[in-house]
Amino acid sequence: MAVNSPNSPRQKMINLMYLVFIAMLALNVSVEVLDGFGVVDERLGESSQSMEERNRLIMEELAAYRESNPEKADAWYQKAIEVRSLSDTLTQYIDALKQQMVRQADGKRGDLNHIRHKDDLEAASIVMLSPLRGEGKKLRHALDSYRDQLLSRVEDPSRKALITRYLSTAAPAGGRSWEASLFEQMPLAAAVTLLTKIENDVRLSEGEALASLLQSVDAGDYRLNRLNAWLIPESETVLQGSSYRARVILAAEDTTRRPRVVVEGASAEAGDDGTFTLTASRSGTFPVEGYVELTGSDGSITRRDFHSSYRVIEPMATVAPTLMNVLYAGIDNEVSISVPGVAPQEVSAEMSNGSLSRRGNLWVARPLSAGTEAVITVTARMAGGETRRVATHTFRVRTLPDPTPYIEYRDAGGNPVIHKGGSIPRRALLQSDGLQAAIDDGILHVPFRVTGFRTILLDAMGNAIPEVSDGSRFSARQQEQIRRLPRGSYFYISGIRAAGPDGTEREIAVMELRVN
């Protein structure tokens, strides 16, 4: 993992500002210069936060190595945890020293973010150098101990040298101690900035130690020689008005080795690019679960599980004539509802002015009343689990048209014949089951139940003789009259009452028959 250089332009600028302000302090310049230490302190704090974020990312990478191969990475990860704990403890101690200095100068309510006596020359000396407190000596010992513990965990010589330089507590020339050279007669603003600089050095040293531990993890089992970007969509079918969602990943792979792919408990024949094929033999939503195994150079096997799902839909096309958006009240109307790209079981629908239910691969709409439109609303559950409305369709609702009366009989060959008027053999009339009625116009086929009718025959004098049926069947008197009719005579069937599946009864058209 790349580590930010401690000698970056930004860090050089902060160090230069620090030196400039120290030099100006030596010249005993104005109080406004002391305010500048607040700026330096703020920049140093920002730099510490940036380094702490970098260190956090290194820890995340170490945690990832530990998860993938705990046997190799766990020891280094535990050392990194110890380094983080030591660093946090030390920076918390340094922050507490800042608070002590500010309260020494500004009182018990002193606020580190709003220092009032920045030019106070005694607070730092009292806290850090007085015999009673002597926090400066404690800080030096804490830094020495921290440095030694980091060096014991780091193997890279160059990083050891950096850590030693960052955390040096060597006494300067002149016989004064390290802590006296930093805090004796030092204005409060400068002393706080010095402690922030030490915090910054601690975080820098922590970063060097963590980077060294990361490099110590044996992550070289796999030599990855190709880097690819992959786009993984949630679904390649997107409905208008919804969103296309996909995940972009950067994947490294070893083209010299082919991993073992296991899908649903069986080895899959994967191509050079890892592609495998599953047969979609039926519609529905199906899970895909398995794992990939890759053997390392030392013989160890790394396994990664995967899981996903896919949907299989039947080939479909929706064809609907624009002039036939009609439903009939009181009866079951078959309706085909489908959403391309969505499995049938993920589609649901509801209807106003009636009921709508699923029947196999079709839907059955049963409107309540004619004259009021029926609106079917279709919803679908999409690939991401979101349920959204995909369509609404409005149907006109009409009353069933009148059925056509007919007489059904069998010809000499035993074949059924439907007779709707005109010439009919006398034998067929007498052998039929009576009168029937149905709507059968090539679009609808709806049977009705005939509840009664009357026949009107003309006698020799031309008088009309009506006779009432026995329900849907010819009565005995009607059959007797038909037997007596001369060949070629006409008679009529009127007053036909028929009850439909919608529960209504109506009188339908008259039939004219001629007896052969």
pLDDT in tens, 138-183: 999 999 999 999 999 998 889 999 999 999 999 887 778 999 888 8
Cβ atoms 333, 503 nearer than 8 A: no
C-alpha 215/C-alpha 1 separation (Å) is: 8
Looking at every residue in the chain, the average pLDDT score rounds to: 83
Least confident of 29-33, 207-211, 339-343: 29-33
Helix, strand, coil percentages for the chain (3-state, nearest 5): 35, 30, 35
Using one digit for the tens of pLDDT, what is the confidence trace for 93-107?
999 999 998 999 889
Any bridge partners for residue 375, and if so which? Answer: 394
- List the 260-263 sheet strands across, edge first: 266-267, 260-263, 284-295, 301-312
C-alpha 124/C-alpha 456 separation (Å) is: 128
Least confident of 34-43, 321-330, 492-501: 34-43
pLDDT of 284 over the 90 cut: no
C-alpha 41/C-alpha 36 separation (Å) is: 9
pLDDT recorded at residue 185: 84
C-alpha 66/C-alpha 500 separation (Å) is: 76
Match 């601690």 to its residue by tokens: 202
Nearest to 142 by CA among 87, 204, 185: 87
Nearest to 179 by CA among 221, 130, 213: 130
Q: How far is it between the farthest Cα atoms of the chain?
A: 155
pLDDT of 5 over the 70 cut: no
| 112-115: long-range contacts, CB 8 A cutoff, minimum separation 24 | 112/192, 115/38, 115/188, 115/189, 115/192
C-alpha 80/C-alpha 102 separation (Å) is: 33
C-alpha 491/C-alpha 512 separation (Å) is: 6
C-alpha 358/C-alpha 435 separation (Å) is: 35
Q: How many residues does the chain have?
A: 516
Per DSSP bridges, beta strands 284-295 and 266-267 are unpaired
Cβ atoms 344, 337 nearer than 8 A: no
Residue 208: how many CB atoms within 10 A of its CB? Answer: 24
pLDDT recorded at residue 323: 47
C-alpha distance from residue 67 to each of 76, 151, 218, 256, 293 (Å): 12, 26, 14, 25, 16
Token digits of residue 305: 């599980």
pLDDT recorded at residue 288: 81
Q: How confident is the model at residue 321 (pLDDT cuts 50, 70, 90)?
A: very low
Nearest to 513 by CA among 474, 471, 477, 461: 474
> For the packed helices 157-166 and 135-153, what is the interaxial angle rounded to 10 degrees?
170
Least confident of 81-85, 140-144, 173-177, 312-316: 312-316
Residue 444: how many CB atoms within 10 A of its CB? Answer: 14
Q: Compute the radius of gyration of the chain from its Cα atoms.
A: 47
Token digits of residue 282: 């039926």
Report the CATH number of the 326-398 domain.
Answer: 2.60.40.10
Task: Give percent of the chain with pLDDT exceeding 90.
Answer: 38
